[in-house]
Structure 1
Amino acid sequence: MFILFFLQFTLALSLTPDGLSLLSLKSAVDQDGSTTAFVDWNENDANPCRWTGISCMNITGFSDPRVVGISVAGKNLRGYIPSELGGLVYLRRLNLHNNNFYGSLPSQLFNATSLHSIFLYSNNLSGYLPPSLCTLPRLQNLDLSNNSLSGPISESLKNCKQLQRLILARNKFSGEIPAGIWPELENLLQLDLSANNLSGAIPDDIGQLSTLSGTLNLSYNHFSGKLPKSLGNLPVTVSFDLRNNNLSGEIPQTGSFVNQGPTAFLNNPNLCGFPLQKTCRKSQQDSTPSPDSSSNGENSNSNKGLSPGLIILISVADAAAVAIIGLVIVYIYWKKKDNANGCSCTGKSKLGSGNQKRAQFCACLCVNGFKSEESELDEGERMERAGKGEGELVAIDKGFTFELDELLRASAYVLGKSGLGIVYKVVLGNGIPVAVRRLGEGGEQRYKEFAAEVQAIGRVKHPNVVRLRAYYWAPDEKLLISDFISNGNLITALRGRSGQSSSSLSWSTRLKIAKGAAKGLAYLHECSPRKFVHGDIKPSNILIDNEYQAHISDFGLNRLISITGNNPSSSGGFIGGALPYLKSVQTEKTNNYKAPEARVTGSRPTQKWDVYSFGVVLLEMLTGKSPELSPTTSTSIEIPDLVRWIRKGFEEEKPLSDMVDPMLLQEVHAKKEVLAVFHVALACTEADPEIRPRMKTVSENIDRIGTSRYRDLKSQRFVDQSPGILFASGSAVRTTI
């Protein structure tokens, strides 16, 4: 007994209280020898700040740094979440997603009152959602999706006043959603309750979530009743996903409803109205024959009304008469419409409706498929047809052909919306998805200029650049049809779908993305027909496919928007379609990816703008910190002037571990490569544009990283990838790893 007391006393002297609380997590995990997640969690250390996955910060009034972050994700850990973690009173981020933790959430965990982000998705957690959850005063991000949590949605959620993301998808929650929760969540940006056992009516007060963005996801539940009209009050940037429920009645045609594609409402058998291809029928009112007022009691027994057979015969005759009259009316209507505006649905077909409230793509398009380049009209004929108000669909890629009626009949899923319109994902009959971008209605007199610009964009063919396949021109409609990139963008790759501060994205994957993006941008600068200047390089415009290859999107878009006369405000993923899960609309004043000279009003874009922006993107990939002040990101990862912060860190000779994403520190072999990419990023972000390298040189340099030697961007000589020296701003600065 004395020996045990002595050992505990010695341990207490050697490790801080935060470290002892963390050791409870190590003890709670099954030690089968298959994991190295806790290999450096040593109880003999003075503090836990150098342990894998642990972040610390110096707090005023304490001699030892305090634990502020736990990130042990994707390690295949099996165990339970210990209640002792609640003793970490300065813990801000708990990130244990993609493991095999089981059991219930301990209510004592919420004694850690500094928590603002909890990411426990993709585990085996069970039990109810603890009512004490919302005693956390700073809780902003809660992702418990893909577990086995059950029970009702607690009314106590209304006390989570600071909540920005609530993701409870793919659990076993049941019952009705109580009213009164949603008006209290004034900061909520993302709500996902999909794939549960929730039932009852959709609460009217969800329509009061005025800050919501992205997708309101209530799909794969058992919601019933009519759609509340209040959902139309949600911001126009919100997409609905209400699939696979038991909703009924007519889809309202107000507010945000009119911008939704049909995919949002699929598999609700009793739902009808636009945009579904199911018209609503008014229910027939039952009528009971009343007795004749002049009849006496004797006649009332013998006069029992019409026989059932006669009633059926009359009903059939009435229906046939109504059908014939309807056909005549429809024929007359379309005959007049053909003569009035030359847009016939006998030879052409509409995508959407002519009613502007209901329109998705309000355009008459020929159903003869894309024209080949050999059969295209000459320029004079195109101008003549455009002047007459007729539309023209042009295939840029001769090898990308399909019947246009496939496009017209396909379900369109809204990927995102902004002040510039809507981006749709459309899956064609052969299973190929495309992205369709509406550019607007202006620029009627500038067809030749528009066509020349689009053709130049279409001639860009590079594996790291999004491919434009076709376009449609009419005075009242312009569409771009391009490849759909399926795996989101660099924002979602770095931060995950919930916007957490870090992800499990490995260094090799990040380097692969950086190399691909650099090659694509260098091609645009050096080899494309117009030697394009992108002008808006940032993570939302770097799309990622399933193989984690990068694709540059949105090049040339600002020019097209200026031709059509729309406001060229920035919004990611227009050409290519894979919009971020985070809020897509950024204002100019928060775009800190721009070069200093690009922030001067009236300045013309240059390729050196793009080089600077790419350098900032590299720094974000290295640090996991965003340079943009946005309500969609946690304040703990915001660095308004990321370039200055990094330069100051190197000048003060801070350890690299103070600046790099903690996830990368686990990959010991990558440290020299990380330092080499820092070198490239700092060269790209020189304040003087003349000093910045060309994008071709940047790409060649990054491509060599991972080999034994790479090129110094300033001296153009090969240097060894040593961890000690980094050149920045013309002077040598030293850092340690």
Structure 2
Amino acid sequence: MMKRNGIPSLCLRVLIILACFSSSNAVESDISCLRSIKESLEDPLGSLSSWIFSNNTEGLICHFLGVECWHPDENKVLNLRLPDMGLRGPFPMGIRNCNSLTGLDLSNNYLSGPIPSNIAQVLGFISTLDLSNNSLSGQIPPELSALKRIKEFSVANNNLSGHVPMFDDAIRQNYKNNKGLCGGPLKSCKDEVHDDRYFFDHHFFSGFSAGISVSTFLSMLFMFLYWTRPSKRTMSYYHLLIKNIIRRKHHQIPTSPTILFEEDLNSMEMKVTAMEKFIRRLSLMEIQMATNDFDNKNVIDQGDMGLMYKAVFPNALLLAVKRLHRFESFEKEFLSEIEIIGRLRHTNLVPLLGFCFEMEKKFLVYRYMCNGSLHQWLHGRPEAEAKKMGWTLRLKIAVGIARGVAWLHHNNVLRVAHLRITSKCILLDENFEPRISNFGNAIILMNCSGTPLSVCNFVVLDSSLFKEDIYSFGILLLELVTGREPAICRKPSTWINSLTGHLCSRDFNLIDECLMGQGFDEEIYETLKIVKKCIHPPRHEASSMLQVYLAIRDIGASRSRSEISVYSFSNVEN
């Protein structure tokens, strides 16, 4: 009897051991997956610096930037979102070890080389795949069409060629700006010219002719500049003369203009050179070509720091270029913008892709946000268009802004106080996802023991600066609810007292009329309570931006998550 009873007991123990081994193996698999990805890609911006594989603790990798797990306490990757991180290298094959992956976003990086031919086996359970805005080449593997679960797919703005795989819902936009692609939603492959001899002759001779013309022009230009060039002494004299005139005008005549000018210029150049480790430096010629020599037709906005231009770079990449005003006025803002946005990557921050400092002119290059600013939608559009921004969309935008500001305050890379959060600095992408911009006045916060190597101003960690952001977010939230200009919302004597009274009586006269009677009155009421806590917090109650984010995220949580587009925020919450 004892032997018979021992057999089931032994089997049970074996099954438990096998289950533990299987679980441990799965954990190791996903950890190995992320470790391999980090090792195979160049990361000049340090975007993956939070990926530290110190142990195999359950839930360890779920706190990594860009990683979303099936469960926060289980090392099982659900989605991997690594857009706009400056990553370089080939497609990371180690991703095959993330066996439960359903979503992969590697867009807006610098990936090169071919898409793996066995990608259908590597990403067997994938439902969303975004490889757009990279430098991938070769063909799209036809095996991709075998992925029946895939719902979203994009390889736009690459260097791909050949036939487009057959998908049920293929969209032209998902393949745009790949000159060698054909078939599917694109032009038929049979319409292309197949005569290789013609293709070679046409491109060779047209290129040859253009080359001769350009060479002749450059030679003549060089000869002209050589014979008419001023001496270095003369050039320095003109520089100093102009600088002195400017300073005399402002009653700032230096005692030693020559030394001061050279020190200023050298100091700025050294600081700018230090910025190159964070973001790509472009030439003035590249900027001029992309903006059609700063054609006024390409101006899309005008702010305090300068003009914003729509710019088309090589490979038909559409970006936005900010041309800053006179050099001396915005040196700090220029450097601050590069260091902060150049180093940080988050879903709700505007990606800074490059900068230019040449001939004392300065430019910042961003990803283009096709839906403009939140301020334009609330106050600068016809009433019919403004009404399209209903409560669901406004709540989605509020959640995104709160998530972005909370991440700035609590992330492990740089803790930043923005200090200028307004509807004008909130840009909206093609999906109306909010992107925080304008970091010229932002301050990087550090602990007393920190010794940062930076050209920007650091201050010892000061919670009052975070409170300023929380207050500004409250004003912005009030602007979303009321539809009123922020200048009006910032009158505490009228608005805060009035708001308190209206909350007590549940009188919604302050609310934007187009939001009322749509079934969201209770959610709007809960939002106003958050506004009150941000603008006029209870005494001795220290709330953080993370708490504000969690509170506003929970509003409307009973409705579909996709409706308000709430993304993973594990890296901040922990």
TM-score category (smaller protein):
0.3 to 0.5
The structure whose RCO (Cα within 8 Å, separation 6+) is larger is 2
- Pair member with larger Rg: 1
TM-score (norm 2): 0.43
TM-score, with structure 1 as normaliser: 0.35
